[in-house]
Amino acid sequence: MNVKLRYFAWVRERVGKPEETVEIPPGVATVSDLMAWLASRGEEYAFAFENRNVIRAAINRSHVRPETAIKGAGEIAFFPPMTGG
């Protein structure tokens, strides 16, 4: 499955790029699985996703939880807790 990934704030800085398109291997079914798989892709990813319980995610621009299935997602974003306002 081909998915566009977007990273924001310190997740973006640690990964070293704002976005990329990746081929997700079979077996990676949820947001949480995807973070675990990303963390295994290299040093910068391991650093970005070392503290996975603080990272938030959105699928197709809506907030989702770690257990949410990623099937059919076009765009998945990862970011720290929001600090707007």
- CB-wise, 4 or 41, nearer to other proteins? 4
Q: How far is residue 35's CA from residue 7's CA, in Å, rounded to a whole number?
A: 12
- Of 70, 5, 14, nearest to 47 by C-alpha is 14
Q: How far is residue 49's CA from residue 58's CA, in Å, rounded to a whole number?
A: 15
Q: How far is the CB of 48 from other proteins (least distance, A)?
A: 13
- CB-wise, 18 or 42, nearer to other proteins? 18
For residue 66, state whether it binds other proteins (rule: CB under 8 A). Answer: no
Please name the amino acid found at residue 70.
Answer: I
For residue 37, state whether it binds other proteins (rule: CB under 8 A). Answer: no
N- to C-terminal Cα separation, the chain: 36
For residue 73, state whether it binds other proteins (rule: CB under 8 A). Answer: no
Residues that bind other proteins (CB under 8 A): 6, 8-10, 12, 58, 61-63, 77, 79-85
